[in-house]
């Protein structure tokens, strides 16, 4: 079970953490559940859950005291734990709960000071452990396999939905526990929409087909994008592809640990702008990921964050022109002190099917 020392260091006035979100319960325990309350003290942990999970949760007994709740008395148990341990201030996940949930906390935890610690948890989650990097690497290998297999599937008259379903099947077949996010497939003019939903549009000869997809493995996400052509592309789309590839290559070659994220964004943006397409690169160069497919920091033009060791980052320049189409190429990297490791192995030189 993961410790919360970094959160307590950032929030020294906090005596205990109350973790109620599914994602952060998983982050600290490695145990997936749709219901539970994790109370973390500086020297002891408690995990409260119901009959659906109590037997499976025994894997946590070495690191946490397990308590089974029945009849909706979970908050009463939380309150008892806090009182028994002389807790005065309780850190809660303000970034994960609704206002209604917060008011419920206030009503049920009378006598305790509630302190927001959501940002401190997100800062801890930025920096991936070796195990987390291994899970993300495995998720990306699954995603790479799916891309390799989809190339024989794409042909004229196959629909975007067909491609999306096949990609998802291939990821599941190769070991994914689920999807990292809803699969994006956009062909032809639909490619001008960066986050297009797959439709029943049939792929035509000459179409660019952009696929943005990712697998989930042991709770962690991958994320990659490739654009391929179903038949020979027109000259403008070929040029756009080459510009996007050069932009990404420049970023991957020059991004380094300690760099401002906004400077990383500029490495790709300056190539696209120099070729006259600056107005059509409409999003940030990349984002971190882990348990969530979008985590901080992001490589945006306005970011004040730095690229630091063991942060994951996507590198995904794109050009999107209405009524013409679009191209995006996305790799996923891990930042190390002396280098950037690209975890995405799929071909990105232009592919014409």
Per-residue pLDDT of the chain (353 residues; tens, 9 = 90+): 889 999 999 999 999 999 999 999 999 999 999 999 999 999 999 999 999 999 999 999 999 999 999 878 888 999 999 999 999 999 999 999 999 999 999 999 999 999 999 999 999 999 999 999 999 999 999 999 999 999 999 999 999 999 999 999 999 999 999 999 999 999 999 999 999 999 999 999 999 999 999 999 999 999 999 999 999 999 999 999 999 999 999 999 999 999 999 999 999 999 999 999 999 999 999 999 999 999 999 999 999 999 999 999 999 999 999 999 999 999 999 999 999 999 999 999 999 99
Give me the half-sphere count of Cα atoms (radius 13 Å) on the Cβ side of residue 31.
Answer: 23
pLDDT for position 73: 86
The two structure tokens encoding residue 19: 């973790």
Domain boundary among 111, 126, 141: 126
- 117 and 254: one domain? no
- 352 in a domain, yes or no? no
Domain boundary among 79, 98, 126: 126
Q: Is 13 exposed, middle or buried (0-12, 13-18, 19+ CB in 10 A)?
A: exposed
pLDDT for position 25: 96
Domain range enclosing 16: 5-126
Backbone dihedral angles phi then psi of residue 292, each to the nearest 5 degrees: -95, 150
Backbone dihedral angles phi then psi of residue 148, each to the nearest 5 degrees: -60, -40
- 348 in a domain, yes or no? no
- 351 in a domain, yes or no? no
pLDDT for position 71: 73
- 75 and 207: one domain? no
pTM: 0.94
Cα–Cα nearest to 228, from 331, 312, 327, 91:
327
Domain boundary among 104, 126, 148: 126
- 89 and 236: one domain? no
Residue owning tokens 């302190």 = 115
| Domains contained in the chain, number | 2
- 39 and 84: one domain? yes
320: CATH: 3.90.230.10
């Amino acid at each position: 079970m993961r410790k919360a020392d970094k959160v307590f260091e950032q929030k020294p006035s906090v005596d205990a953490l109350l973790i109620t979100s599914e994602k952060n319960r998983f982050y600290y325990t490695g145990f997936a559940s749709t219901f539970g309350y994790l109370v973390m003290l500086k020297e002891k942990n408690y995990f409260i859950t119901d009959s659906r999970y109590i037997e499976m949760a025994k894997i946590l007994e070495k690191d946490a005291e397990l308590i089974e709740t029945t009849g909706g008395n979970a908050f009463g148990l939380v309150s008892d734990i806090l009182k028994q341990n002389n807790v005065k201030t309780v850190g809660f996940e303000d970034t994960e709960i609704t206002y209604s949930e917060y008011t419920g906390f206030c009503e049920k935890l009378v006598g305790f000071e509630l302190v927001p610690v959501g940002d401190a948890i997100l800062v801890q989650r930025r920096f991936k452990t070796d195990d987390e990097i291994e899970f993300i690497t495995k998720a990306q290998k699954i995603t790479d396999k799916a891309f390799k297999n989809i190339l024989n599937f794409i042909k004229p008259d196959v629909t975007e939905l067909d491609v999306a379903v096949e990609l998802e099947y291939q990821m599941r077949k190769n070991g994914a526990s689920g999807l990292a996010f809803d699969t994006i497939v956009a062909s032809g003019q639909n490619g001008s929409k960066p986050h297009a939903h797959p439709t029943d549009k049939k792929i035509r000869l000459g179409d660019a087909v952009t696929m943005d997809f990712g697998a989930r493995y042991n709770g962690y996400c991958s994320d990659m994008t490739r654009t391929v052509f179903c038949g020979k592309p027109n000259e403008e789309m070929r040029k756009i592809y080459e510009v996007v590839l050069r932009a990404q290559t420049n970023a991957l070659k020059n991004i380094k640990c300690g760099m401002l994220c906004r400077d990383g964004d500029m490495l790709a943006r300056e190539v696209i702008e120099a070729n006259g397409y600056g107005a059509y690169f409409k999003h940030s160069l990349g984002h971190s990921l882990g348990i969530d497919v979008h985590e901080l920091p992001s490589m945006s033009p306005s970011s004040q964050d730095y690229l630091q060791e063991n942060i994951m980052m996507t590198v995904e320049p794109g050009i999107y022109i209405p009524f013409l189409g679009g191209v995006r190429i996305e790799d996923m990297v891990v930042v190390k002190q002396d280098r950037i490791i690209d975890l995405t192995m799929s071909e990105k030189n232009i592919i014409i099917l």
